[in-house]
Structure 1
């Protein structure tokens, strides 16, 4: 799917340069970064955005979020780094999330050499399984005092709860999308069961969920959360937003009623997909404290929708 989307997207716009970089993981494995940089960086400094792809921990690549990464680099002058992580079942938990954490730490420490200025904004974002990894690492970066610190988090259709028991007790009566959407098109109960089987995660580990840490949530940066209505993971997103807000975290929630999991990735050419891409862009605008112009909105679909549409 990633390769087909990349072919349909075509080359980057002239104002965005793309390159690849290999960095070492803790076990000596070389992991690949895909870097998007403005060809003419803003004189005020280039914000740093790190993106984590989805795919149920078993598929996906650092090319998956190319469309939105190009938009962020083009419209905001951001340096956007799409990380890689090793996938199950060949690489069991917690290899993937460890790769992601190693990558985020490396990028934070080497931001200036990448041409980024995290003081202008440092956002970590992810989709689906990448949303899980993003939430885990956002909490880990806070607990470990990572410097420079994150200034924002973007979670699109994130997977946050692995069992009913992992949902905070006071919210369990609101966690019914697993059953309600068990037969949803694409990503459903059967697909989720396959992911759980292949990943073999430790449901009690802090690397599996931020809810497993000793003092989660409080002190996290502003967080934008986006959810699909016909998604088994819908209530993970809705509950997480409530929990963050009640812990003093500034949040923004966007819902797409009646639409299946990650519809914006599968159907970017449809009206609902284009509208979601604009919502995603607005979410990053909010996280970066940027104004959105009519021309910005027009350019979102120009750069982010495959030309075959």
Structure 2
């Protein structure tokens, strides 16, 4: 479906009945509270570390000498060369760490015989903008140059992806990789529920279809108050290319294929919808999955739309890698072993 009018987009904001019932039975804690409370929530949901020959941490040196923790996930048979996937966690730029997406990383490593690298970035408010995008860019450059040291071969596929704030950082960094001539280049980008736009940088052509901040201001999981809280902590320059690919000098043209996931009751919904349209307008290959009535971060819920989102994620990654669609039964089995505990 083409989401090109307000009339087509607005119904996406009606909450899914199953998700609505789940939220009413399990009230979501407010994300508008203190930063300490939010960090505790993320800490409680973190995946336990399991160091082994195929999963372990390394440190990457940032431009200022900081040693950034990075999590390597290899396939069960790690010999030989493998595609490289780089994942960036979410958390509103104020919480999260490189184990957050480890369940997805383990599954992707196995499904695609790939090396999956979960990178880190320093968090606000202790580390103000643009520390986070700088850290992600420094990490990606290091991975491009050193993937061979852990069995990666970007020529077989080099994917950058992230969720929520991680989706923002992935989008910004993918654009920067074009501007700076990253070598080897990215071959695909995965953006799940990404933060991309602010009102002052939405192109005039799309302003009438960018209204999810208003429509979903009271949405579950994140709402207007929590977005304001996180925005204040991040303190970004709204016109900086480190905040949005729309701020680049010559944006969008030449981007590799992009896979996007968008949720209907998410305040960030229209960021993803607009970005997908703009990319297509610039000749970029895109794939879009939309979850009507689903809130930001619903993948933590035991609901049908959430399960579909898991399947779609791996199908989308397969599309980016030029591989066959994975067997849903295999994905189901892997999710049982590697439950998604955080977003």
Of Structure 1 and Structure 2, which has the larger fraction of its residues in strand? 1
TM range (shorter): over 0.9
TM-fit CA distance, 1:75: 0.9
Rounded to whole Å, the distance in 2 between the matches of 1:292 and 1:304 is 20
Residue 209 of structure 1 pairs with residue 244 of structure 2: yes
Partner of 2:25: none
Matched, 1:305 2:333: no
Verify the 8 A CA contact 1:274 1:305 in the aligned structure 2. no
SS where residue 292 of structure 2 aligns? strand
Query: Mind listing any 5+ residue stretches in structure 2 that lack a counterpart?
Result: 1-40
Question: What is the RMSD computed on CA atoms of the aligned residues?
Answer: 1.8
Deviation per CA, 1:123-164: give whole Å up to 9, x if none.
0001111111111100000111100100000000000012x1
**Equivalent residue pairs, number:** 300
Q: Distance in 1 between matches of 2:187 and 2:278?
A: 19
Please say if 1:274 is aligned against 2:310: no
Distance 1:273 1:82 in 2: 22
Contact 2:315 2:326 in 1 (8 A): no
1:80 alignment partner in structure 2: 116
Task: Tell me by how many angstroms 1:38 deviates.
Answer: 1.4
TM-score (norm 1): 0.92
Alpha-carbon separation, structure 1, partners of 2:211 and 2:326: 38
Shift of 1:271: 3.0
**Aligned counterpart in structure 1 of residue 225 of structure 2, from 158, 180, 190:** 190
CA distance in 1, matches of 2:213, 2:86: 29
* Whole-angstrom CA distance in 1 between matches of 2:337 and 2:178: 34
Which one of the candidate residues 188, 197, 207 is aligned to 1:172? 207
Aligned-pair distance for 1:186?
1.5
The question of whether the paired residues in 1 share the 8 Å contact of 2:162 and 2:190 is answered with: yes
CA distance in 2, matches of 1:301, 1:31: 28
The verdict on how the C-alpha distance between 1:10 and 1:100 changes in structure 2, with shifts beyond 3 A counting, is closer
- Tell me which residue corresponds to 1:230: 265
- Residue 11 of structure 1: CA displacement? 5.4
